[in-house]
Amino acid sequence: MADSVNKWLIVPIIMLPTMMEIIDTTIVNVSLPHIQGSLSIGTEEATWVLTAYLISNAIIIPITAWLAGFFGRKRYLMFSLVLFTVSSFMCGMAPTLNFLLLARFLQGLGGGGLQPVSQAILMESFPLEERGMAISIFMMGTVVGPTIGPILGGWITDNWSWRWCFYVNLPIGVLSFILVSLFVHDPSYIKRVVKRIDYVGLGLLAVGLASLQAVLDQGQLKDWFNSRFITVLSMVAVVALALFIFNELYTRDPLVHLRIFKKRSYATGCSIIFTAFLAFFGSVVLLPLYVQRLMGYTAFLAGLVMGPGALASIFFLPIVGRLTRKVDARYLLGVGFAAQLWALHLMSHFNLEVGFWYVIFARVIQGAGLGFFFVPLATATFLEIDNREMGNATALYSLLRNLGSSFGTAIVTTILARRAQFHQYRLVEHLTPSNPLLQHTYHHLKIVMPSPAHRLGLIYRETLRQAAVMAYNDAFFFCFMLFVALLGTLFILKKTNIKQVAGPRPAGALSPQENG
C-alpha cells in the first residue's frame, strides 16, 4: 500500500470484489431450476453449474500466493477481476450447457484469487493493534454476501431472468477494477520473482482438489461409495493430495509453503476455521430447507428468517474489533463458541409447531456468535505470520474455510437423507392396528375424510414429516457436537497480547522479523 493512500480507504475497496464473489456463489443456487428449463437440461446436469465453479475455485485458491509473487499482487488481483467479470458476461449469454460450464470454470478461476489476495492486502495494510477493527469491517461484506445472495437471486430471476444473476457482476467488476488500479499498490517487500514452476505440484494439486470437490458435490446425489464414479474419484483425490503434500515438503521451489503449519496458532486456527465452517455452513444449509419443506415457508419468508442473523453479526463485528485490542482473542472466541452452541441446541429441538419468531431468535444468537468468531480467530491465527508469509497463509486459510463449507454441505445432507430413512422405519413399526393412538386418529379422521385410503395416506404423510423433523434435529445436533469438540482448541491457541507483539510501531513499518 502506498504511503499516500489512507489505509482505511483500502478496506471498502478490497471488500467490494470479495463481496461480489461471495454473493455470486449463492445467487446462482436460486436460479438453477430456471437455468434447467431454459437450457433443457436435467437436475443432475444442472448441479454441474455449481460444481464447475467450486472445482476451479478450489484449485486456484492455494496457489494465489505463488501467482501473486510471479505476476505481482496488484497485477494478479486486477487480472482476477477482469477474468471474473468477463466470464460472468459469458455465463449470462451462454447458449448451451457446455458453454455455461466452461464460463463457470473460468469464473471460478477468477473468483478464487479475490478472497485470499484481498485478505492478505488487508492484513498487511494495518499494524497488529488495528487489525481487529479492519477485519471486522471487512467481514461485514463476507457476512452480508451469503444472506442477500439468495434473496437477490430470487428477485432477479422472478422479475428479469436468470442471466441477469451473472450480468449484475459487470458494473461491480468494472468499479472494483478502477478502484484497485488507482488505490492499491504492492508493498516494497513484495517483488515480482520469476521462479521455477512446480509443474508436478500444480498437476497433483489440480487433480486432487478437483476430484475431492466433485466427490463432495456429487456424493449424496450418486449415493456415495455405492457409485463407482465416486469411489474412483475418492481414491484419485487421496493419492494425488498425499503425493502433493510430499512433493511440496521436499521440492526446492514449492508451489505452496506447507511448513507454515509448524506455527502452532496458525495450524490451530486453520483447524478451527475448517471444522467451524463445516458445522456453521451445514446449519445454514439446513435451516432454509427446514422452514420451507416442513413449515411451508415461501422463499421470501425463508430469507427473512436468515436475514436477522446477518444483522446481528454486523452489529457485533465492530464491537468485537475494538475489544481485540484489550481482550485476549481466546476469550472472545469462547463467547462465539458458546453462542453457536446455544443456537444449535435450540435448532436441534425444533418441531413442527415452532414459531416464526423463535426460529429468528435462534438465528440472531447464531449471527451474534459469528461476530465473536471471525475477528478473534483471524487475529489469533495470523498473529505469528509476518507480512512476507501473509499471501501464502491467507490462501491456505481461505482454502480450508471453503473446504469446510463443502464438507459441511455434503455431510449434513447425507445425515438428513440417511436419518430420515432410519426414523421413518422406526415410526412405521408403531403403525399397527393394535396401536390405540393410531386407532383413535384413524376414526377421528372419518369426520373429514370418508375414504379409508385418504385417511391412511394422511397418516403416512404425517409420519414422513415427523421422521424428517427428527432427521433435521440429528443433523443440527451433529453440528452442535462439532462446536463442543472445538472448545478444547481454545487451550492450544497462544495468548494474543497485541501490545506486546505489535509494540508502538507506526502503520506501514516492518517488524524486526520482516526487516530480516
Residue predicted with more confidence, 70 or 396: 396
Integer Cα distance of 38 and 430 in angstroms: 46
Q: Is residue 281, in this structure, part of any structural domain at all?
A: yes
Structural domain boundaries enclosing 243 = 196-252
327 and 420: one domain? yes
Residue at which a domain ends, from 207, 223, 252? 252
Asked if residue 106 and residue 8 are part of one domain, the reply reads yes
Within a domain: 452 = yes
Position 4 pLDDT exceeds 60: no
Cα(210)–Cα(383) distance, rounded to whole angstroms?
Answer: 31
Please tell me whether residues 181 and 232 are part of one structural domain.
no
Question: Are 44 and 90 found together in one domain?
Answer: yes
Q: What is the pLDDT of residue 433?
A: 66
Are 48 and 128 members of one domain?
yes
- Residue 331 and residue 415 in one domain: yes
Q: Is residue 479 part of a domain?
A: yes
Residue 449, amino acid: M
Q: Mark whether 108 and 120 lie in a shared domain.
A: yes
Is residue 510 one of the residues assigned to a domain? no
DSSP state of 505: P
The answer to whether 280 and 408 have CB atoms below 8 angstroms apart is yes
Q: Does pLDDT of 301 surpass 80? A: no
Identify whether residues 201 and 180 lie together within a single domain. no
In a domain, 511, yes or no: no
Q: Grid coordinates standing for 169?
A: 457482476
Asked which of 179, 194, 209 is the last residue of a domain, the reply is 194
513 inside domain: no
Q: What is the largest CA-CA distance in the chain?
A: 86
pLDDT (0 to 100) of residue 362? 92
271 falls in which pLDDT band (50, 70, 90)?
Answer: very high
H helix count then E strand count, the chain: 20, 0
pLDDT cut 90: percent of the chain above it: 15
CA nearest 163: which of 206, 103, 116, 106?
103
pLDDT tens digits for range 120-177: 787 777 777 777 777 777 777 777 766 677 667 767 776 787 888 888 888 888 998 9
Pair 173, 229 in one domain: no
What letter does residue 96 receive in the DSSP assignment? S
Three-class SS of residue 382? coil
pLDDT at 342 over 90: yes
Count of other CB atoms within 10 angstroms of residue 457: 12
Rounded to whole angstroms, what are the CA distances from 452 to 243, 378, 430, 440?
63, 61, 19, 14
Count of domains forming the chain: 3
- CA neighbor of 67 nearest in space, from 353, 391, 294, 308: 391
- The per-residue pLDDT for 505 is 38
Q: Is residue 277 part of a domain?
A: yes
At residue 491, the 3 state secondary structure works out as: helix
Q: Are residues 275 and 139 in the same domain?
A: no
270 contact partners, CB below 8 Å, separation of at least 6: 261, 381, 396, 397, 400
Among 14-28, 75-89, 422-436, 461-475, which is the least confidently predicted range? Answer: 422-436
Report the CATH number that the domain containing residue 277 is assigned in CATH. 1.20.1250.20
Does 515 reside within a domain? no
* pLDDT over 60 at 414, yes or no: yes
171 and 103 within one domain: yes
**Average pLDDT over all residues of the chain:** 80
Looking at 164, 194, 224, the residue that finishes a domain is 194
Under 8 Å between Cβ of 451 and 326: no
Q: Which of 107-111, 352-356, 473-477 has the highest mean pLDDT?
A: 473-477
pLDDT band at 507 (very low <50, low <70, confident <90, very high): very low
pLDDT of residue 85: 92
The whole-number average pLDDT for the span 331-349 is 93
pTM exceeds 0.75, yes or no: yes
Residues 167 and 209 in one domain: no
- Would you place residue 503 in the very low, low, confident or very high pLDDT band (cuts 50, 70, 90)? very low
